[in-house]
């Protein structure tokens, strides 16, 4: 590799259509920054020693992702994966659920770039792939990938032989997904069967390399057992050569020595058990398929749990012809696999890395119980089962499970974390735990250790308030309580709280009281008594658990009438409607008002309204015909204890004048001084 060796990885493989070359930056940030700059792809022919023959040819320049409209039109390509790839690239509304593993750019990088390593169509669509259809069989080529204006480049050497595969050094990227599933995994889960494909993994030990693999559907599993798995191997940039063909053990090689390995027994049973007990001839096709699919599932499970089971099933191989710290490439395939992208591919440096201990082990404290919790997303990549031990002294440990702890997750029952509930039966005692993980190669990790104590989470039985009253003479509140079933042994103290509503915010009105206390008296002082008072008593034990008594109300007699409004104004309009407006009373507990009126200031006033008025305006009609020029009005306030206050000042309001004067009466007509006098 040239340039910055860990910056770009190049992969190439021969296909029926030509040489498929894909590449990707090894960090999400670099991928994002180089996306718009584009890449240049050039090729040069080389000899068997890697020496260049002739001039380099630029095959493509400024390769960048297709635009958003292309993805809309071609969303059905790659079995429909192109549509979500386009959404990830361009849809601003496409958002991921928040998680503690990666940000938005990192998640897009993992989802998109992973698919480019599996599908050259997707790689080409996002500017990370090129299909070279001009290659000649058996010739050797070197492909250079350069980030335009980016200063990053890498190359790969490969011979155009079918199924051949090359990579520019070891791939340091481990693609991670929030729920452990890639886009292609989600697609596979949505259809009856995944395409015939091999998923492969490896473990490097320095003196050997262990290969593990699995087929992706039951029919392919059955066919592959008959065909066998062909393993091709190369060292560094060398040519791939057939290493071996692996098949399940013949029945003659399965001996009684496997009896100590339960998973090996399962594997042998799947391959060679007598199926006559199932009466398959009498079964429906659906039942026969169910048995077949169950055998497939159990075979993969057994291979995960036991190296011997994997050997028996033909799903494991140990390569001992290796050198420490050298780069090795493997392809695992079968005769029926046509697409090179569906083969199992491994390219890794043979350097031993110890198995890590399980990640993020924590404890949730319970009442006489402890729940051990560890991170699902991080541990799912490393382990397939767990061993959990407990000790009371930190020295001598016992297993909490007879068999390794395995977690089953389905689409209907997804897991958010790994956990184990340990009912220890006591509180305030220290327990020590060791958690180890089994990986897919049968190795047991170092232990993650933690210690914890269960604690009492049961609150004491709440007391009953037996009496609460207001002592008028002393101007005090008195609260008395009693235990319902006797006092708890771990009771620590009491405290009295008060609120103006039974479901409102209660505040402490007493100091912390000794557990011998059964009453409390509060001096009211200047406390406004014109409100509701509710009291409760909390009981607290030595572990901080709290219970609360049912609230009790103290009703303080309200014998004080409210003040009348200070301002009352009114007028009579042309329709003889009286309009009154007043300021609200300054008393806090006013619930409404009563209006009174009269034609005579000396007469007793009559009520205007039949129901309590809660606003500060009112209007009503009075008879237009009256010999009085004014009406007289006042108002009284009423509080929530039904006390009516004194009347306000009486106001005088002019009536509407519609009465004509009295007709005159003629008394006499007589002549006087030459004139007629009318009286």
Whether 7 and 144 share a structural domain? yes
561 within some domain: no
374 within some domain: yes
Whether 490 and 407 share a structural domain? no
Which pLDDT tens digit goes with each residue over 459-510?
999 999 999 999 988 999 999 999 998 888 899 999 999 999 999 999 999 9
pLDDT band, residue 276 (cuts 50/70/90): very low
Which pLDDT tens digit goes with each residue over 283-313?
555 555 567 778 888 999 999 999 999 999 9
Confidence (pLDDT) at 200? 94
CATH number of the domain that residue 528 is part of: 2.60.40.10
527 within some domain: yes
Whether 518 and 620 share a structural domain? no
Whether 494 and 640 share a structural domain? no
The answer to whether residue 124 scores a pLDDT higher than 50 is yes
* CB-CB contact of 570 with 653 (8 Å): yes
Note the pTM of the prediction, 2 decimals. 0.61
Whether 515 and 607 share a structural domain? no
Q: Would you give the DSSP letter of residue 314? A: T
DSSP, residue by residue, 536-570: EEEEEETTS-EEEPPPEEE-----PPPPPPS-EEE
Whether 400 and 505 share a structural domain? no
The pair of structure tokens assigned to 560 is 């004080």
Confidence (pLDDT) at 343? 92
The answer to whether residue 160 scores a pLDDT higher than 90 is no
Which pLDDT tens digit goes with each residue over 516-556?
999 999 999 888 777 889 999 999 999 999 999 999 999 88
Q: Which residue among 409, 427, 453 closes a domain?
A: 453
Q: Looking at residues 615-643, what average pLDDT do you find?
A: 91
Confidence (pLDDT) at 119? 92
311 within some domain: no
* CB-CB contact of 532 with 613 (8 Å): no
Q: How many structural domains is the chain composed of?
A: 4
**Residue 614 lies in domain:** 568-654
The answer to whether residue 86 scores a pLDDT higher than 50 is yes
Whether 528 and 613 share a structural domain? no
406 within some domain: yes
The answer to whether residue 451 scores a pLDDT higher than 70 is yes
Which pLDDT tens digit goes with each residue over 192-247?
666 889 999 999 999 999 999 999 888 899 999 999 999 999 998 888 899 999 99
* CB-CB contact of 290 with 280 (8 Å): no
Mean pLDDT, rounded, of the chain: 89
**Strand residue runs (E) in 160-206:** 165-167, 198-204
178 within some domain: yes
Confidence (pLDDT) at 525? 87
Confidence (pLDDT) at 3? 37
Which pLDDT tens digit goes with each residue over 321-341?
999 999 999 999 999 888 888
The answer to whether residue 446 scores a pLDDT higher than 50 is yes
The answer to whether residue 638 scores a pLDDT higher than 50 is yes
């Amino acid at each position: 590799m040239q340039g910055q060796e860990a910056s770009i990885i190049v992969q190439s493989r021969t296909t029926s259509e030509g040489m498929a070359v894909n590449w990707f930056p090894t960090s999400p940030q670099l991928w994002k920054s180089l996306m718009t700059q584009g890449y240049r792809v050039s090729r040069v022919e080389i000899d068997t020693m890697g020496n260049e023959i002739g001039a380099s040819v630029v095959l493509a320049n400024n390769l960048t992702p297709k635009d958003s409209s292309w993805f809309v039109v071609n969303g059905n390509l790659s079995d429909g994966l192109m549509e979500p790839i386009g959404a990830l690239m361009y849809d601003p509304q496409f958002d991921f659920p928040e998680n503690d593993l990666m940000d938005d750019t990192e998640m897009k990088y993992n989802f998109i770039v992973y698919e480019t390593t599996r599908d050259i169509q997707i790689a080409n669509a996002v500017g990370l792939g090129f299909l070279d259809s001009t290659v000649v069989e058996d010739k050797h080529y070197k492909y250079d990938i350069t980030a335009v204006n980016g200063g990053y480049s890498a190359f790969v050497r490969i011979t155009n032989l079918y199924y051949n595969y090359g990579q520019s050094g070891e791939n340091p990227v481990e693609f991670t997904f929030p729920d452990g599933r890639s886009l292609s995994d989600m697609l596979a889960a949505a259809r009856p069967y995944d395409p015939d494909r091999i998923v492969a993994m490896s473990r490097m030990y320095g003196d050997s390399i262990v290969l593990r693999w699995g087929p992706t559907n039951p029919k392919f599993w059955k066919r592959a057992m008959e065909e066998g798995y062909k393993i091709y191997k190369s060292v560094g940039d060398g040519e791939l050569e057939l290493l071996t063909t692996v098949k399940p053990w013949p029945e003659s090689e399965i001996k009684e020595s496997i009896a100590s390995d339960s998973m090996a027994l399962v594997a042998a049973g799947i391959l060679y058990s007598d199926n006559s007990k199932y009466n398959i001839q009498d079964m429906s096709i659906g039942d026969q398929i169910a048995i077949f699919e169950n055998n497939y599932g159990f075979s993969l499970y057994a291979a995960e749990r036991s190296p011997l089971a994997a050997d028996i099933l033909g799903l494991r191989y140990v390569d001992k012809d290796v050198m420490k710290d050298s780069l090795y490439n493997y392809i695992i395939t079968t005769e029926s696999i046509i697409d090179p992208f569906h083969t199992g591919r491994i390219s890794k440096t043979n350097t031993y890395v110890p198995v890590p201990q399980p990640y993020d082990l924590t404890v949730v404290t319970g009442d006489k119980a402890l729940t051990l919790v560890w991170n699902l997303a991080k541990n799912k990549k490393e382990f397939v089962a767990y061993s959990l031990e407990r000790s009371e002294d930190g020295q001598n440990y016992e297993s909490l499970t007879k068999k390794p702890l395995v977690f089953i997750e389905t689409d209907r029952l997804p897991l958010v974390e790994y956990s184990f509930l340990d009912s220890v039966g006591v509180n305030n005692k220290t327990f020590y735990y060791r958690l180890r993980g089994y990986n897919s190669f049968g190795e047991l990790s170092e232990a993650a250790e933690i210690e914890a104590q269960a604690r009492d989470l049961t609150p004491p039985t709440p007391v009953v308030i037996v009496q609460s009253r207001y002592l008028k003479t002393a101007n005090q509140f008195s609260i008395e309580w009693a235990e319902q079933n006797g006092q708890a042994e771990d009771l620590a103290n009491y405290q009295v709280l008060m609120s103006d509503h039974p479901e409102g915010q209660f505040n402490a009105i007493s100091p912390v009281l000794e557990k011998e206390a059964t009453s409390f008296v509060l001096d009211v002082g200047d406390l406004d008594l014109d409100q509701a008072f509710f009291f409760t008593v909390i009981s607290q034990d030595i572990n901080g658990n709290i219970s609360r008594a049912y609230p009790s109300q103290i009703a303080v007699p309200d014998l004080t009438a409210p003040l009348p409004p200070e301002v009352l104004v009114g007028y009579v309009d042309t329709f003889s409607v009286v309009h009154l407006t007043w300021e609200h009373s300054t008393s806090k507990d006013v619930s409404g008002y009563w209006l009174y009126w009269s034609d005579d200031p000396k007469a007793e006033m009559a009520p205007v309204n039949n129901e309590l008025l809660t606003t500060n305006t009112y209007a009503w009609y009075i008879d237009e015909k009256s010999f009085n020029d004014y009406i007289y009005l006042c108002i009284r306030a009423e509080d929530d204890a039904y006390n009516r206050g004194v009347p306000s000042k009486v106001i005088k309001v002019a009536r509407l004048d519609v009465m004509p004067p009295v007709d005159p009466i003629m008394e006499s007509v007589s002549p006087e001084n030459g004139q007629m006098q009318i009286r």
